[in-house]
Chain A
């Protein structure tokens, strides 16, 4: 097993809360907070479920989002840096790896709507540059290292983790700040609705009664450093990224590319499939995801499929943020002694006959495989060791 980088500090903001102990408690007690948001903007008299950040309610969605956007981001980063006990001199040479699906859309779509109302002409410019958010973080915290922004849809911040760990292991940088961040955007919410992907009846990945995805907001930040070889903590061992060229919206149902990225990740981490303790599945809740990911896992593990779980019913699908947010939630639960359950799963799908973990299961150490898939055929798998 290779130890590429260890998690030195971390912080999260999601629907379960912001204090890590409270978030883990929420996961153990399976208490998600789901809002119901109207589809008024598209003239539809219906509501859809959504996991908002614990610090706000639906009424805040019409307020000026720019202040809120940077408050959440800076606050989460500040807590992660404090958790890592970095000195000011350490901050200077931090490298930033930022991953997001919506980037600054929550900010400029609001400006677009406002300008349209006030002048009946829409704002002329969309996006102030994909790299701007990472630079804002650098400016705020006095960081002078390089900044990399990844926009590969739902694998964005998983890819940020993959490259941060590789760069540390190669000795190019001493430490990295990796951020996954996606706030509510009308573009994303109505976009998923236009694809008819949003669940109407509960969040139930891998359950035969699944009805789709429920989106969520999340911000996660981790500080990575070269592994100190100690006997505690969580370590990124390796991972892989590749593309499934089958279709821009869906991966091939047979799960060929899904299996390949898991094999590649295990090889990169120098870990045998039989050594995997448990899997954090991507599990968006769509029928396509269940089939392709289920088929992919069976290809890799055969009859010896380790326990697997899906975190999204606890915090929603945080799209580009899911890489960092789910890494934090998963490892924090393990370090407090349990593998979080797949909330909402009750009845197995006969065509798959796969059952995820449904109750908090005692588990505190081992080697874990984390899957992330996204639009544009993107596939990323990470291998993480938790040492208790």
Chain B
């Protein structure tokens, strides 16, 4: 699965979706209405990644998300429980998070697979894994894979400094690619991942970078560094915690690193692991 374009959109939580609409106008002339903040975040990231190019009409869209829609879900519950009214139809429809990949597909005219995928703490990895599964037998030859999460509504218990939308444009064809998703591998526990790292040196020492996902504790990171002998690529401190931070790190590597490789290790709360290997080609 070869990477042909990358986009990053990261910003303080938008208080009003209209600001995102204005941002979106910088990338596409298509007018959008009845779309909420979550959908607009997805559109901004996807259109920023595509930058006006035409995709194959059978290309697929894989949107990964930790929490899906938060704002309109809150609105509908407010309409029901506080105002004792029927919800506004479009607020209800937009609580379903797959409306976001729908609008991405509609506005880019890509009519292949269209999915909204999650895995607690590992959503972006799960999306990459399923996309690779589709690429291998050739069922899919071109896709947009994104990670989108809006910050929780204002005044809540959880406050995040930023929210984001990060996308990669992938093809089966290598010509003109800037990099590659070379491996996505799941492990039942830390020992299994450690064994894999030892069996076959994942990346030759000194020939790549190591990054760890947000849930990997600090002392464990030093252990992975020792085991792999790779230099550290640290992105977690840039903005603090937010839901799409893994995709932020991956796209940052692809946008800023020189020609090299990245081993990305992440885990969930239950101690199950996913390892990614990405290559960034020289320009």
Give the residues from 91 to 107 in chain B that come closer than 8 angstroms, CB to CB, to chain A.
Answer: 92-93, 95-99, 101-103, 105-106
Which of B80, B93, B134, B268 contacts A42 (CB under 8 A)?
A: B80
From known contacts A129-B67, A150-B117, infer whether A245 and B82 are also in contact, taking CB-CB under 8 Å. no
Instruction: Please indicate the chain A residues that have their CB under 8 angstroms from the CB of B116 in the complex.
Output: 150-152
Which of B78, B89, B106, B189 contacts A122 (CB under 8 A)?
A: B78
Residue-wise, chain A 93-116 has the 8 Å CB interface mask toward B (1 for contact) of 100000001010100010011001
Which of A122, A130, A190, A243 contacts B114 (CB under 8 A)?
A: A243
Instruction: Please indicate the chain A residues that have their CB under 8 angstroms from the CB of B122 in the complex.
Output: 131
Which residue of chain B has its CB nearest to the CB of A379? B114
B13 contacts A by Cβ under 8 Å: no
Per the bound structure, the CA–CA distance linking A172 and B80 in Å amounts to: 44
Q: Is the CB of B272 within 8 A of A144?
A: yes
Instruction: Please indicate the chain B residues that have their CB under 8 angstroms from the CB of A41 in the complex.
Output: 80-81, 84
Per the bound structure, the CA–CA distance linking A249 and B98 in Å amounts to: 12
Nearest CB of A to B145, in Å: 14
Q: Is the CB of A145 within 8 A of B130?
A: no
Nearest CB of A to B101, in Å: 7
Q: Is the CB of B120 within 8 A of A376?
A: no
Residue-wise, chain A 77-94 has the 8 Å CB interface mask toward B (1 for contact) of 000000000000000110
Q: Is the CB of A148 within 8 A of B130?
A: yes
From known contacts A41-B84, A248-B103, infer whether A112 and B77 are also in contact, taking CB-CB under 8 Å. yes
Nearest CB of A to B68, in Å: 5
Per the bound structure, the CA–CA distance linking A57 and B11 in Å amounts to: 47
Instruction: Please indicate the chain A residues that have their CB under 8 angstroms from the CB of B88 in the complex.
Output: 194
Count how many chain B residues have C-beta atoms less than 8 Å from C-beta atoms of the other chain.
Answer: 69
B43 contacts A by Cβ under 8 Å: no
Q: Is the CB of B136 within 8 A of A151?
A: no
A43 contacts B by Cβ under 8 Å: yes
From known contacts A124-B158, A241-B113, A376-B102, infer whether A170 and B68 are also in contact, taking CB-CB under 8 Å. no
Chain B interface: which of A159-167, A286-294, A322-330? A159-167
Per the bound structure, the CA–CA distance linking A39 and B98 in Å amounts to: 27
Give the residues from 215 to 273 in chain A that come closer than 8 angstroms, CB to CB, to chain B.
Answer: 241-245, 248-249, 257, 268
Q: Is the CB of A172 within 8 A of B188?
A: no
Q: Is the CB of B189 within 8 A of A144?
A: yes
Q: Is the CB of B114 within 8 A of A125?
A: no
B129 contacts A by Cβ under 8 Å: yes
Q: Is the CB of B119 within 8 A of A187?
A: no
Instruction: Please indicate the chain B residues that have their CB under 8 angstroms from the CB of A129 in the complex.
Output: 66-67, 118, 120-121
Instruction: Please indicate the chain B residues that have their CB under 8 angstroms from the CB of A376 in the complex.
Output: 96, 98-99, 101-102, 114
From known contacts A124-B153, A152-B98, infer whether A131 and B111 are also in contact, taking CB-CB under 8 Å. no
Besides the known contacts A139-B270, A377-B114, 15 further A-B residue pairs in the complex with CB atoms under 8 A apart? A109-B77, A125-B152, A126-B70, A126-B152, A134-B119, A146-B126, A146-B129, A148-B119, A151-B116, A166-B134, A187-B73, A194-B87, A243-B111, A245-B111, A375-B96
| A binding-site residues for B, Cβ under 8 Å | 41-44, 92-93, 101, 103, 105, 109, 112-113, 116, 122, 124-127, 129-132, 134-135, 138-139, 144-153, 159, 163, 166-167, 170, 172, 186-187, 190-191, 193-195, 241-245, 248-249, 257, 268, 374-378
Listed A/B pairs (24) with beta-carbon separation below 8 Å:
A103-B68, A113-B81, A116-B81, A125-B152, A126-B74, A127-B67, A129-B66, A129-B120, A130-B120, A131-B120, A139-B270, A148-B130, A149-B119, A150-B116, A151-B97, A163-B130, A166-B133, A187-B73, A187-B76, A190-B92, A241-B115, A243-B102, A243-B106, A249-B93
